[in-house]
Amino acid sequence: MKIKLIKEAIAMFSLVAVSVCTFGLNVTVATDGAANTSLLRDTSGGATPIVKAKWEMNATRNAAGEYLGTDDATTAGAQFMPSGQYQVNKTITLCAVVTDPDGLADIDAVYADVFYPEGISLGDSHVPLSDQSGLGCGELMQEDTLTRLSLDDGYELFCSKVKNGNNNLPVFNTGYDYDEICNVDTGELMKLTAAVYCGDKTISYEDPSGNYKVWAVAQDKVGLQGTLENHFTYLPLTAFEKDFTAVSYGNVKLNTHKIISGDLTWDSGTGANPATVRNVGNTRLSLKVMQDDMDLGKTDDIYNVLYDGRVGSDVSFVNYRPYTYRLLPGPLDLSEKNEIDFSILISKFPPTHDGDCYTGTMTLIAVPAPHLTVCIN
Ligand SMILES: [Ca+2]
Ligand SMILES: [Ca+2]
Ligand SMILES: [Ca+2]
């Protein structure tokens, strides 16, 4: 009867341009060949699935192939550390305990939706906002399908490893707890009226630190959906790599500013390559530099050498005297690679120095910089 009604509705409206759902399925065909389509989901019949509990954990497994139920901090909920290494991503596992009043057989699929942290842009601070992609900012990363675990695997994971080893990891839907789910006599896992569903997901080494919203969505065969929401935290780690181990100022004349430019090419990693740095953590960062005096000494208690540095060619140099850390302008955005430029100005070569060769040591460290927060979507 319902199908017949919808068919009649289509017949009645097939010549009318509509682009919103009023009756069942509507298709508008424009003269230029573009087609606007819409449909109305039919969710009549049955009861809604329930996500009783959900959590995220490390994807690591033991030799028997069992998940360990761990995360990277003892705080309630899940916290994860990034690798701090170039292109070494973090794999986590998303899980949910799901039931349906119509029976587990009515569950069609269980999904997990992970969203970027709110108010954090993955943008590029070097280009105008209007030219940026607008990624991040609470957007859905991707929807992943979770797979049902066997009774033994699901019970072992949730009712042993998580309950006994990482008790504050999951969130529970209203009215549910470990006892209700895990009780050997009355618990729904043992009665096979609920099951554990899990799936792995990769978080990039350069995805931003912050709180990621996760929905577990259980969908039954008539399309009814039960959801449960929580957040996991991608813990901040500030890290960078450089493709050089030396900076050669070459031949330097007295009172003559000598600039050594870096480049955007990633070189071998050793030697005085044109200097390049890249962000391999999950925060933005600024570099701080410190350099000794290369035995150039002082005159009237002022160092005979003045250095400059910057990250990227679109910012001005800042100068620094020996033995003091100086924050270099030009923060590195998430996943950014950029050149690092240095310069040197010598006001006096000390007469006491033996020979014309001067050597020294430079130290670079990274400090976190705030995430970009201007969202354009
Ligand atoms: Ca149902
Ligand atoms: Ca935790
Ligand atoms: Ca380079």
Residue 38: the pLDDT is 83
Residue 44 belongs to some domain of the structure: no
State how far Cα 147 lies from the chain centre. 23
In this structure, are 69 and 154 located in the same domain?
Answer: yes
Per DSSP, the residues of 347-363 read S---TTSSSS-----EE
Nearest ligand to the CA atom of 262: 3
Last residue of a domain, one of 214, 234, 254: 234
Confirm whether 125 is domain-assigned. Answer: yes
- What is the 269 CA–ligand 3 centroid distance (Å)? 8
Instruction: Give me ligand 2 centre to Cα 73, in Å.
Output: 5
Looking at the fold, whether 96 and 161 belong to one and the same domain comes out as yes
Query: Nearest bound ligand to CA 340?
Result: 3
Ligand nearest to the CA of 171: 2
Backbone phi, then psi, for 174, in 5-degree steps? -55, 130
Q: Using alpha carbons, list the distances in angstroms from residue 38 to 5, 10, 24.
A: 17, 12, 8
Q: Which ligand is nearest to the CA of 218?
A: 1
| Tens digits of pLDDT across the chain (377 residues) | 333 333 333 323 222 233 334 444 444 444 566 777 887 777 677 999 999 999 999 999 999 999 999 999 999 999 999 999 999 999 999 999 999 999 999 999 999 999 999 999 988 887 776 676 667 889 999 899 999 999 999 999 999 999 999 999 999 999 999 999 999 999 999 999 999 999 999 999 999 999 999 999 999 999 999 999 999 999 999 999 999 999 999 999 999 999 999 999 999 999 999 999 999 999 999 999 999 999 999 999 999 999 999 999 999 999 999 999 999 999 999 999 999 999 999 999 999 999 999 999 999 999 999 999 888 75
CATH number of the structural domain spanning residue 322: 2.60.120
User: In whole angstroms, what is the distance from residue 158 CA to residue 172 CA?
Assistant: 12
Q: Are residues 158 and 212 in the same domain?
A: yes
User: Which ligand does the CA of 70 lie closest to?
Assistant: 2
Q: 43 C-alpha to center of ligand 1: Å?
A: 10
Do 245 and 226 sit in the same domain of this protein? no
In this prediction the pTM is: 0.86
> Which two structure tokens, joined as six digits, stand for 77?
């909920």
Q: How far away, in angstroms, is 191 Cα from ligand 3 center?
A: 62
pLDDT at 129: 67
Three-class DSSP category at 2: helix
Asked whether residue 212 is domain-assigned, the answer is yes
Statement to judge: residues 97 and 178 lie in one domain = yes
Domain that holds residue 175: 50-234
Q: How far is the CA of 275 from the centre of ligand 3 (A)?
A: 5
Q: Considering 212, 234, 256, which residue would you say is the last residue of a domain? A: 234
Closest ligand to Cα 104: 1
Going by the DSSP 8-state scheme, the letter that residue 106 receives in this structure is G
Ligand nearest, relative to CA of residue 165: 2
Note whether 21 and 58 are same-domain residues. Answer: no
Number of domains in the chain: 3
* Whether residues 229 and 247 fall in one domain: no
- Examine the domain organization and report whether 170 and 290 are in the same domain: no
Q: Are residues 76 and 181 in the same domain?
A: yes
Q: Is residue 149 part of a domain?
A: yes
Residue 184 confidence (pLDDT): 94
What pLDDT was estimated at residue 279? 97
Please check whether residues 217 and 288 belong to one and the same domain: no
The predicted pLDDT at position 32 comes to 61
Ligand 1 centre to CA of 106 (Å) is: 5
Q: How far is the CA of 194 from the centre of ligand 1 (A)?
A: 12
Q: Are residues 181 and 56 in the same domain?
A: yes
Domain boundary among 234, 252, 280: 234
- Please tell me whether residues 219 and 71 are part of one structural domain: yes
The position carrying tokens 């100005």 is 345
Q: What is the DSSP-derived secondary structure letter of residue 105?
A: G
374 in a structural domain: no
